[in-house]
Amino acid sequence: MASLSPQPRKLPADEEPADPKTALLTPPVPSPSSPSSPSPSRFLFAFLLVTTCISLAISSAFAFLLLTSNSKPVKEVARSLSKLPHPVVILISSDGFRFGYQFKTSTPNIHRLIRNGTEAETGLIPVFPTLTFPNHYSIVTGLYPTYHGIINNRFTDPVTGEVFTMQSHESKWWLGEPLWETVVNQGKKAATFFWPGSEVKKGKWSCPDKYCQHYNGSVPFEERVDTVLGYFDLPSNEMPVFITLYFEDPDHQGHQVGPDDPEITNAVAHIDSLIGRLISGLEKRGVFEDVTVILLGDHGMVGTCDKKLIYLEDLSPWIEIESEWVQSTTPVLAITPPSNVSLAEVVSKMNEGLSSGKIEHGNYLKMFLKEDLPTRLHYAASYRIPPIIGLLQEGYKVELKRSDNKECGGAHGYDNTNFSMRTIFIAHGPQFGKGRKVKSFENVQIYNVIASILKLKGAANNGSESFADNILLES
């Protein structure tokens, strides 16, 4: 509009006006009569100006309405339940399902969930260390390992000297509040068909026989799926609202043969067939569209081989690392020297040796006092974490001494910024948008998402409060 208004034309500085009156020009219409009496042409000009302005204003308003109505998509909202009396979430973990495995072979069932659900487009980011127990427990508590206490698959409590293993079910090890506990504390039912920590009695969760399976890796995967489906045949007041389902594959194969082997492809196809079995069982019961199915993994996998080994015995010209100091070697090198040894000196001498160029692959390992680790790893605040931590580059391994053991396979546990450590997040259900892609996120966000779907008051955790609102459809 501004360009159409009769703006006074300012003369350039070097253009001297002949008459001061013409210095600022009003409409360039020569007026034969006196300036005080308005001429018909002036009326005409004003009339045209006003009508032009009005018509432009109207057309602009229409254009604005048209544009804004076209650019605003119809908002997808949560679907209401058609058969179930309450929301139900099935949380499925396929151990070691590296992001990208879903493209290794035809996976029609996984892709059905992707097509009609919401997916982390470039995968789910595990927590550090990218190991099975720390990550599974982060998924169900929303806490980093530092805060939920399971800082490794195996570790020693530095105060009591007791050793945590994957068979330790005493509640003292397992901090935080896992989802099954949140569910039963708020008067609802939960069921677990395996999940690290699920056999631990916490709060009102007592791992009851009816709803809690004690770990036995030899139970066929099909049987696990069928047991979960059976929960949907129970009367609604006995039906769990939260169910976990765990498969050891393709992690099992990944360790043996690495991520790029036909065995992995076969394992992925098997996982896909199990998802198909679950979907058709839910469909038969008429509840597939009502149930929220979240398919994820705990971490990825990277190939390892003998050529990528670092031996701690090679450091002896700089420092002698006693085997009793070493809590774990690969991929998290964790060292606890005796109290009379300076921690800072151990770190500096090890790094001096590793960066000297005289140690094979030394540049692929860097030692830290745990408080000096990058803060993004959240791996310092627990007293359970050993004081000295070594970060290995992906695919490298540490051993104390040279040996004749030769093996090539796969490993995980490395820095969670490595793309190879990513896994999948695929969610299908009434509150997940169809065919929606979201950015990669850390698995500590999942606790709040599930608590929100189940309308539970979640316990304090490391996830952000806004994340669930962003990923879920408005209900």
Q: How far is the CB of 380 from Zn ion (least distance, A)?
A: 24
Q: Which residues of 459-472 are buried (b: 16+ CB within 10 A; e: fewer)?
A: bebbbeeebbeebb
Q: Which is nearer to Zn ion, 387 or 410 (CB)?
A: 410
3-state DSSP call for residue 76?
A: coil
Q: Which is nearer to Zn ion, 145 or 337 (CB)?
A: 145
3-state DSSP call for residue 235?
A: coil
Q: How far is the CB of 251 from Zn ion (least distance, A)?
A: 4
* Residues that bind Zn ion in the complex, under the rule CB under 5 A: 251
Q: Which is nearer to Zn ion, 119 or 251 (CB)?
A: 251
Q: How far is the CB of 412 from Zn ion (least distance, A)?
A: 6
For residue 5, CA distances in Å to 24, 38, 46 come to: 15, 19, 11
Q: Which is nearer to Zn ion, 251 or 442 (CB)?
A: 251
List 132, 244, 292, 329, catalytic entry: 132
Catalytic annotation present for 132: yes
Q: Which is nearer to Zn ion, 110 or 302 (CB)?
A: 302
Q: How far is the CB of 298 from Zn ion (least distance, A)?
A: 8
CB atoms within 10 A of CB 400: 13
* Contact call for residues 229 and 76 (beta carbons, < 8 A): no
* Contact call for residues 77 and 433 (beta carbons, < 8 A): no
Q: How far is the CB of 248 from Zn ion (least distance, A)?
A: 9
CB atoms within 10 A of CB 220: 8
Residue 39 sits at φ, ψ, to 5 deg, of -90, 160
CB atoms within 10 A of CB 403: 9
Q: Which is nearer to Zn ion, 250 or 362 (CB)?
A: 250
Close Cβ partners of 249 (under 8 Å, ≥ 6 residues apart): 94, 95, 96, 221, 267, 270, 271
Q: ω into residue 32 within 30 of 0, thus cis?
A: no
Amino acid at residue number 118: T
**Closest C-alpha to 409, from 283, 229, 258, 270:** 258
Q: How far is the CB of 364 from Zn ion (least distance, A)?
A: 21
* Contact call for residues 308 and 401 (beta carbons, < 8 A): no
Q: Which is nearer to Zn ion, 139 or 212 (CB)?
A: 139
Q: How far is the CB of 133 from Zn ion (least distance, A)?
A: 10
Residue 314 sits at φ, ψ, to 5 deg, of -65, -15
- The span from the CA of 388 to the CA of 342, in Å, is 11
- The span from the CA of 216 to the CA of 340, in Å, is 44
Positions marked catalytic: 132
